A and B are shown apart, each in its own frame.
Chain A
Amino acid sequence: MHDLSPSGFSLPAPSRRTLLRGMGGAALLGAGIPLLSACGGSGSSADPKTVSLGSNSSDAVPKKAFAEIYAAFTKKSGIKVDVNTKDHNTFQEQINSYLQGTPDDVFTWFAGYRMQFFASKKLATPIDDVWQKIGGNFPEAMQKLSKGEDGKYYFVPLYTYPWAVFYRKSVFDQHGYKVPTTWDDFVALCKRMQKDGLVPIAFGDKDAWPAMGTFDQINFRTNGYDFHVELMAGKASWTDPKVRKVFDHWSEILPYHQEGAVGRTWQDAAQTLVAKKAGMYLLGTFVGQQFTDKADLDDLDFFAFPEIDPQFGQDTVEAPTDGFMLSKAPKNRAGAAKLLEYLGTPEAEQIYLKADSSVVAASTKADTSSYTALQKKSFEMISGAKSLTQFMDRDSRPDFTSTVMQPALQNFVRNPKNVDSILSSIERQKKTIFASS
């Protein structure tokens, strides 16, 4: 297939090698040459001036923001980025066969277990050489997030965003509400809001993942970060009294959630916050996308999910992180490394953030002066966190979360009294899923 590379034919093999030698360091060369010989005859026809990139950024705003980053990279390095954009959901559904076939050199993906899964299946190439150059740009929590189970780096994070409880300042001012920091304050606030004729907590779980966010928050506030990791890795039991305690807390605030959540999309739920019919909404910062009016958006604020057990306080922040990985046999290893290095710079992140203000930079070195108030607050929340989680379906096996957890949590939301049978059913199914492969 690579024979078809358009400009490849015009370049004789020797010149390509010298070019590579000039471009990459000794470490890169070591990785590059064996790959070339492994490809046999066709290897020499790969274009050293082009890096192909598979992207799931099909929405208009991120697509344009990424295109600007690649343009800046081409200007700087002379290497063209050949972007192959697929619809976001399609990309995710096909990632398996995509990575096993002839994937692009670099592809967009998520940090956490989902990255580690493909790394352990040898469908990604370690990029420790890249991290030697960009490591200093990232805080420790981000470095930890970018490593596979074997301790090697596989991921370059670009942006991240926290999950928190969102509210409208004007609504809080009007009723004289205070931001709750403890569980009891939170429950009391819910009660007051209900009395004031508001829906205390907006909620829409038709897409089945928003409830996972609520579970995560209550779980690591109740049981701490380490338990979250154990539970997501399939090690802790779902019938453990600790899990039961999470659902007890959830049951306590469930009556203050918006009615009929299983039939409502998160976008519709967000509209009730926009319309000031709901007092609070637990979601990622992307909720801001639903605030189309600038004045409404300026009125939006958030607070960290309240403390439940003082032992853990509010030190864990759920912050899903998106970035890039290197596929198993990139055609242009040296060029791809250059691109990844560039994507790991504060400069690349700033270009992205200029176009998409709903997220914040993964790097602590990025310039925050142009951040909106919400972005500044998100950034502080993430950089001040002791531990970062990704999200239930990014911290655990996606086959488990999508086929078992999503229906189970919807079931709980509809029928919280069934919690014991739901939990034993989860545990039973978990055992077989985690036992396979």
Chain B
Amino acid sequence: MTATPAKAPEPATSPAPGPAPTSPTAKAPHGHRRLLTRRDRVTLGLMAGVPTILHVALVWLTALASIALAFTTWDGIGFDSITWVGLQNFRELFTSNPQFWPAVEHNVIWFVVLILLPTPFGLFLAVQLDKKIRFSRVYQTAFFLPVVMSLAVIGFVWQLIYNPDTGLINSLIGANKPGHYIDWIGDPDLNLWAILIAASWRHAGYMMILYLAGLKSVDPALREASALDGASEWQTFKNVVFPTLRPTNTVVLVVTIIEALRAFDLVFVFNKGAQGTELLSILVTNNIIGESSRIGYGSAIAVVLLVISLAVIIPYLIATFRKERRA
């Protein structure tokens, strides 16, 4: 908004003697007073238009294109090799791909574990740190540190711990010898849980920060009042503090769902989603990226992922909008 006064001298100088082809706004002072010069409108138009075009081209068009491609087979070489196959990709996915249903299941497990273990733990940490105990900043930093790190790096770090031959755990407990060998990375009964520990380690810190922010907004007068009423610490938390955290809980739920659906990097670094750690995002990548890719098939998996995301997000949006209208 400050642009208008700053630009004001410009139309005044432009009708100065001599040809002034550089000034397209020469007529402006004669007509009705405009808030924005032509240049401003062009600038604003570009500022709004370029991102819009980029957004439509890179987000909407690609999303729609990938939905369309889900009904074709295409090896990615030349557009003439795109063949329409209808629902065949989906039929194949649901019936004969041995990795598809495990992948769906693992995405669900990922969500359930994140919401049941690290989320309450993050809340617990937040409540403790909110009491302003000594060194609380140090603890805060320590728990938040994994969130700052890239998931790929976390994957490498945890590999050093889980490597069955030379990793920390097996070396400490001597489980790297034939006979009593624990294969943390290759055993499908173990590896998903091993990765989930790493994922939870990071998620707890994330949740802690969200809840800390939420707790800061709890009115201290409420606590005081409940303390005066003789409520114990647990009672205060359960009946006073936790209900006021409702908006934070909604954010936490949405963030956790998103984390579960987009889980990828950690697993990809860990064992590329093989044997027991399949995830939808990994199946999409494996089918689309590569030297002779199955773009149609990979898109079909991506569409399944999209549908699941929509099924979660649409009810949330409806609920939010309804609340806003009421308010």
Question: Which residues from A are CB-within-8-Å of B83?
Answer: 436-437
A408 to B77, CA, bound (A): 27
A206 to B167, CA, bound (A): 15
Which 9 A/B pairs are nearest by Cβ-Cβ distance? A263-B186, A262-B186, A263-B185, A260-B183, A436-B73, A263-B183, A428-B96, A95-B291, A259-B181
Determine whether the beta carbon of A268 is less than 8 Å from that of B165.
yes
A407 to B291, CA, bound (A): 18
Total interface residues on A, using CB and 8 Å? 39
Question: Which residues from A are CB-within-8-Å of B97?
Answer: 429
The answer, yes or no, to whether A96 is at the interface (CB within 8 Å) is: yes
The answer, yes or no, to whether A5 is at the interface (CB within 8 Å) is: no
The answer, yes or no, to whether A397 is at the interface (CB within 8 Å) is: yes
Question: Which residues from B are CB-within-8-Å of A76?
Answer: none
* Cβ contacts A to B, 14 pairs, < 8 Å: A93-B291, A259-B183, A263-B184, A397-B292, A398-B290, A398-B291, A399-B287, A402-B290, A403-B294, A407-B98, A414-B275, A429-B97, A432-B88, A437-B74
Q: Specify which of B92, B187, B274, B292 is in contact with A398 (CB 8 Å cutoff).
A: B292
The answer, yes or no, to whether A411 is at the interface (CB within 8 Å) is: yes
Minimum CB distance partner of A198 in chain B? B178
Determine whether the beta carbon of A264 is less than 8 Å from that of B77.
no
Question: Which residues from B are CB-within-8-Å of A206?
Answer: 185-186, 271, 274
Minimum CB distance partner of B194 in chain A? A263
A100 to B287, CA, bound (A): 19
Tell me whether A410 and B274 are in contact in the complex, defined as CB-CB below 8 angstroms, given that A264-B165, A399-B292 are known contacts.
yes
A249 to B163, CA, bound (A): 30
The answer, yes or no, to whether B164 is at the interface (CB within 8 Å) is: yes
Q: Mark B72-90, 1 if CB is under 8 A from A, else 0.
A: 0111111001010100100
Determine whether the beta carbon of B76 is less than 8 Å from that of A260.
no
Q: Specify which of A96, A208, A268, A429 is in contact with B77 (CB 8 Å cutoff).
A: A96
Q: Mark B226-244, 1 if CB is under 8 A from A, else 0.
A: 0000000000000000000
The answer, yes or no, to whether A123 is at the interface (CB within 8 Å) is: yes
Question: Which residues from A are CB-within-8-Å of B271?
Answer: 206, 262-263
Interface of chain A residues 3 through 28 with chain B (CB within 8 A): none
Determine whether the beta carbon of B178 is less than 8 Å from that of A407.
no
Question: Which residues from A are CB-within-8-Å of B289?
Answer: 93
The answer, yes or no, to whether B188 is at the interface (CB within 8 Å) is: yes
Question: Which residues from B are CB-within-8-Å of A407?
Answer: 98-99, 274-275
Question: Which residues from B are CB-within-8-Å of A92?
Answer: 290-291
The answer, yes or no, to whether A381 is at the interface (CB within 8 Å) is: no
Question: Which residues from A are CB-within-8-Å of B291?
Answer: 92-93, 95-96, 114, 398
Question: Which residues from B are CB-within-8-Å of A259?
Answer: 178, 181, 183
Minimum CB distance partner of A425 in chain B? B98
Q: Mark A393-428, 1 if CB is under 8 A from B, else 0.
A: 000011100110011101100100000000001001
Q: Specify which of A121, A263, A429 is in contact with B164 (CB 8 Å cutoff).
A: A263
The answer, yes or no, to whether A250 is at the interface (CB within 8 Å) is: no
Minimum CB distance partner of A429 in chain B? B96
Q: Mark A256-298, 1 if CB is under 8 A from B, else 0.
A: 0001111110001001000000000000000000000000000
B4 to chain A minimum Cβ distance, whole angstroms, is 43
Total interface residues on B, using CB and 8 Å? 41
B246 to chain A minimum Cβ distance, whole angstroms, is 43
A39 to chain B minimum Cβ distance, whole angstroms, is 20
A297 to B61, CA, bound (A): 56
A261 to B187, CA, bound (A): 9
The answer, yes or no, to whether A117 is at the interface (CB within 8 Å) is: yes
Question: Which residues from B are CB-within-8-Å of A97?
Answer: 76
Binding site for B on A (CB under 8 A): 92-93, 95-97, 100, 114, 117, 121, 123, 199, 206, 208, 259-264, 268, 271, 397-399, 402-403, 406-408, 410-411, 414, 425, 428-429, 432-433, 436-437
A335 to B224, CA, bound (A): 85
A206 to B277, CA, bound (A): 13
Determine whether the beta carbon of A399 is less than 8 Å from that of B290.
yes
A240 to B296, CA, bound (A): 29
B180 to chain A minimum Cβ distance, whole angstroms, is 10
Determine whether the beta carbon of A403 is less than 8 Å from that of B181.
no
Q: Specify which of A117, A123, A260, A432 is in contact with B92 (CB 8 Å cutoff).
A: A432
A271 to B166, CA, bound (A): 11
Determine whether the beta carbon of B274 is less than 8 Å from that of A399.
no
Q: Specify which of B74, B78, B164, B294 is in contact with A433 (CB 8 Å cutoff).
A: B294
Question: Which residues from B are CB-within-8-Å of A411?
Answer: 98, 275
Interface of chain B residues 124 through 154 with chain A (CB within 8 A): none
A398 to B77, CA, bound (A): 14
Determine whether the beta carbon of A96 is less than 8 Å from that of B293.
yes
A365 to chain B minimum Cβ distance, whole angstroms, is 31
Minimum CB distance partner of A411 in chain B? B275
A114 to B97, CA, bound (A): 24
Determine whether the beta carbon of A403 is less than 8 Å from that of B78.
no
A208 to B277, CA, bound (A): 14
Question: Which residues from B are CB-within-8-Å of A263?
Answer: 163-164, 183-187, 191, 271
Question: Which residues from B are CB-within-8-Å of A425?
Answer: 96, 98
A199 to B183, CA, bound (A): 16
Minimum CB distance partner of B298 in chain A? A403
Question: Which residues from B are CB-within-8-Å of A271?
Answer: 165
A425 to B186, CA, bound (A): 21
Q: Specify which of A260, A398, A410, A429 is in contact with B181 (CB 8 Å cutoff).
A: A260
Q: Which of B275, B289, B292 is the most central at the interface, judged by chain A CB atoms within 10 Å of its CB? A: B292
Question: Which residues from A are CB-within-8-Å of B164?
Answer: 260, 263-264
Q: Specify which of B96, B98, B184, B294 is in contact with A436 (CB 8 Å cutoff).
A: B294
The answer, yes or no, to whether B272 is at the interface (CB within 8 Å) is: yes
A406 to B98, CA, bound (A): 12
The answer, yes or no, to whether B286 is at the interface (CB within 8 Å) is: yes
A398 to B188, CA, bound (A): 25
A408 to B274, CA, bound (A): 10
Determine whether the beta carbon of B274 is less than 8 Å from that of A260.
no
Q: Specify which of A114, A208, A264, A403 is in contact with B287 (CB 8 Å cutoff).
A: A403
Question: Which residues from A are CB-within-8-Å of B181?
Answer: 259-260
Determine whether the beta carbon of A399 is less than 8 Å from that of B294.
yes
A100 to B292, CA, bound (A): 12
Question: Which residues from B are CB-within-8-Å of A408?
Answer: 98
Interface of chain B residues 72 through 123 with chain A (CB within 8 A): 73-78, 81, 83, 85, 88, 92, 96-99
Question: Which residues from A are CB-within-8-Å of B275?
Answer: 262, 407, 410-411, 414
A117 to B76, CA, bound (A): 13
Question: Which residues from A are CB-within-8-Å of B92?
Answer: 429, 432
Q: Mark B277-306, 1 if CB is under 8 A from A, else 0.
A: 000000000110111111010000000000
Question: Which residues from B are CB-within-8-Å of A95?
Answer: 291
Minimum CB distance partner of B165 in chain A? A268
A31 to B275, CA, bound (A): 51
